[in-house]
A and B are shown apart, each in its own frame.
Chain A
Amino acid sequence: MDLGQINPVLLAASLMVAATPILLAAIGEMVVEKAGVLNLGVEGMMITGAVVGFAVAVNSGSPAAGFVAAALAGAGLALLFGLITQVLKSNQVATGLGLTLFGLGLSSLIGKPYEGIKAPSLGKLDIPLLSDIPVLGPVLFRHDPMVYLSLLIVLGVWAGLKYTRAGLVLRAVGENHTAAHALGYKVIRVRLAAILFGGASAGMGGAYLSLVRVPTWVEGMTAGAGWIALAIVVFASWRAGRILLGAYLFGGVSVLQLNLQAAGVAIPVEYLSMSPYLVTILVLVIISLRGNHGAPGSLGRVFHASS
């Protein structure tokens, strides 16, 4: 065992890359849940984004076009969920699970011609000057553009929810849809918009896997990342800043355990793998001990305007 072999700078940098897909998916799902909707189909939207992003990037040669297409594909799947749950009032839990099934099937059909192909490289930004700062440089300033975009999205969601009118309306709709409706807000429209945003984010998160982190298309490649994103939202108790913390914690535990193994530390892998979920439950308990139930008031409930 030699812990000195683990370079904390490199560890931090690879942690940021490992966390980016789940960060994107989680921040999107948080907005959805803030609007009072529980979409369990994150995994299905992610993998659809992964395959569509990959296909478009390969055909166009442009990873950027791939990410845009992935966002659109994720949003497209989310729209399906939105129509069924919001307009046709179906149960969100069951519909979300159906969406995952649908997305997994769809993605592998689309992906058949793209197996065993390499993705065009997204490249790194390597911001001049800043990337030469010792320690901070490699950790913060030598990533691909999507890492920074994901951080910007988190910042945007945080500011948007806190300071803008649209954010206020979204939160109002999520907390109490009946009251929001009485105030004249278009509950269904707000929710559909949030669902679309969530789908687009999940799609980009998936594309980050197929275009940057792995980078190739393989069937079933998300391997549960969408479910981890759902856990992160809860862990974060629906706050944008904590989503970042949560994504880095969940991503970090997995990267750290691999690093510890490489350094020769005998660790019980299963117990380490389950620890983030136990921590999440603990967070939930702490939230409820404070008397606040944490989750948006209308989460998962069907809204029907009885006007």
Chain B
Amino acid sequence: MRFALEKRPAPSRLMLGLTPLFAVIATMLAGGVMFWALGANPVEAIRTIFLDPLFDPTFGAYSRPQLLVKAAPLILIAIGLSLGFKAGIWNIGAEGQYIIGAVVGAAVGLAFYPTESRLIFPAMVIAGALGGWAWAMIPAILKTRLGTNEILVSLMLVYVAENILASVASGVLKNPEGRGFPGSRNFARDYPAASNLELLPGTGMHWGVVAAFIAVIAAYVLMTRHKMGFSIRLTGEAPRAARFAGVNPTRLVVFSLGMAGALAGMAGLFEVTGPAGQISIDFGSGYGFTAIIVAFLGRLHPVGILLAGLLMALTYIGGELAQLMLGMPAAAIQLFQGMLLFFLLAMDVFANYRIRIKTREAA
């Protein structure tokens, strides 16, 4: 007797909904064992990670809005990436597009310092989006003109972007009043016209969160109502059929990479002007890579990505609380997140495949 997988003609809707639940339960069990092995109370640890950020009387009021703040860049980037991923276009360099967006946007803002004008922040957002877009156009053009592999070019450009960031943070964008330390002026504190602060105090809502919600809705409409969404889905599911249906692959590559770059660039700009506050050497905090995971956890569906982004944010913030309240090492939290991802990715198989038990025929 052996098991065999049989591909479902279409992913099971029931399973798409159920598998994340199963995965979270499995992670709680496996993670509980790990926490127990580390000498912690497993129930308390799991509760701290998953429930305290939401319901704890001391932290809840602060943590709930923070979930939005932490999730917003992940969602914004993942939405952009999902468009390409759906069509089989693999941009894994969102981290680079995020960094360049932040650098270009910040440079525009700093160029106007200390002018106060309502136009500065919108100009920075546009510059950030353009910066990310331009950075994504490099793999896009190489792909469409020469057929160069976009996975690898976009990844290489992450390293280039990180070096550019290090260079400008201690060079042209360095705060002249920063006593020689690397890092730009702080937008959130020192330059109101270029800052991305909470729109309603205590809610965590800043422009990046607003943009993330808009992106989710726009992507949903695009994928279900618009011809481009149809082209993307068709190309991903049946590339040959797409060609017969007259889908222009060049346009598709340029569109999906461009959108991903622009959204990642905007995410970078919202972060640098708000939560992060300034351009610093460590500004690139891996959001571009984490967003890839978020995109897949969300099954490349806009609503799924929204939920996956919030779940990731929950494990980050809950993990911080577990460190703070239970003295858990940071590494244990990292391992726990790794487990959660593995379970979520592994359980995906039940949505896309049916498990059949085959009995071996007698010889």
Contact = CB atoms under 8 A, between A and B. Distances in A.
Q: Do chains A and B touch in the complex (CB under 8 A)?
A: yes
Given A102-B335, A288-B147, A280 B345 contact: no
A25 B147 CA distance: 27
Contact of A105 (B152, B155, B333, B346): B333
A222 interface: no
A295 B333 contact: no
A112 B39 CA distance: 14
A199 to B, nearest CB: 15
Contact of B149 (A108, A268, A295): A295
A101 B331 contact: no
A192 interface: no
Contact of B160 (A112, A274, A293, A294): A274
A294 B293 CA distance: 26
B135 interface: no
A102 B343 CA distance: 12
A98 B345 contact: yes
B119 interface: no
Contact of A288 (B142, B155, B297, B345): B142
Contact of B331 (A105, A231, A284, A288): A105
B342 interface: yes
Interface in A205-261: 219, 227, 230-231, 234
Interface stretch (B98-106, B163-171, B186-194, B219-227): B163-171
A260 B169 CA distance: 23
Interface in B139-166: 142, 146-149, 151-153, 155-157, 159-160, 163-164, 166
A93 B142 contact: no
Contact of B335 (A84, A88, A106): A106
Q: How large is the interface on A (under 10, 10 to 19, 20 to 34, 35 or more residues)?
A: 35 or more
A91 B156 contact: no
Contact of A89 (B151, B295, B338, B352): B352
Contacts of B295: 94
Given A80-B342, A289-B146, A101 B334 contact: yes
Nearest to A224: B159
B346 A84 contact: yes
Contacts of B339: 102
Given A105-B334, A230-B155, A277-B160, A94 B293 contact: yes
Given A104-B331, A277-B160, A285-B148, A89 B337 contact: no
Contacts of A105: 331-338
Contacts of A7: none
A231 B348 CA distance: 29
A97 B292 contact: yes
A33 to B, nearest CB: 10
B156 to A, nearest CB: 5
B149 A277 contact: no
Contacts of A284: 142, 148-149, 152-153, 156
Contacts of A91: 296, 345
A76 to B, nearest CB: 14
A301 B149 CA distance: 14
B353 interface: yes
A232 to B, nearest CB: 11
Interface string B314-338: 0000000000000001111111111
Contacts of B146: 285, 288-289
Given A88-B349, A271-B167, A108 B331 contact: yes
B214 interface: no
Helix, strand, loop or mixed for chain A's interface?
A: helix
A99 B335 CA distance: 9
B7 interface: yes
A210 B174 CA distance: 36
A2 interface: no
Interface in A145-161: none
A277 B167 contact: no
A300 interface: yes
B254 interface: no
A40 to B, nearest CB: 8
A61 to B, nearest CB: 27
Interface in A69-126: 80, 83-84, 88-91, 93-95, 97-99, 101-109, 112
B289 interface: yes
A109 B329 contact: yes
Given A106-B335, A274-B164, A281-B156, A98 B342 contact: yes
Enumerate the 6 nearest inter-chain pairs by beta-carbon distance, A residue then B residue, closest first. A102-B338, A105-B334, A105-B335, A98-B341, A108-B331, A90-B345
6 contacts: A109-B335, A284-B142, A284-B153, A288-B149, A304-B7, A306-B7
Given A91-B345, A93-B90, A97-B289, 16 more contacts: A38-B151, A40-B92, A88-B345, A90-B345, A90-B348, A93-B292, A94-B345, A105-B334, A105-B336, A106-B338, A234-B156, A270-B163, A270-B166, A271-B163, A274-B160, A284-B153
Interface of A: 38, 40, 80, 83-84, 88-91, 93-95, 97-99, 101-109, 112, 219, 227, 230-231, 234, 268, 270-271, 273-274, 277-278, 280-281, 284-285, 287-289, 293-295, 299-300, 304, 306
Interface of B: 5, 7, 38, 90, 92, 142, 146-149, 151-153, 155-157, 159-160, 163-164, 166-167, 289-290, 292-293, 295-297, 329-339, 341-342, 345-346, 348-349, 352-353
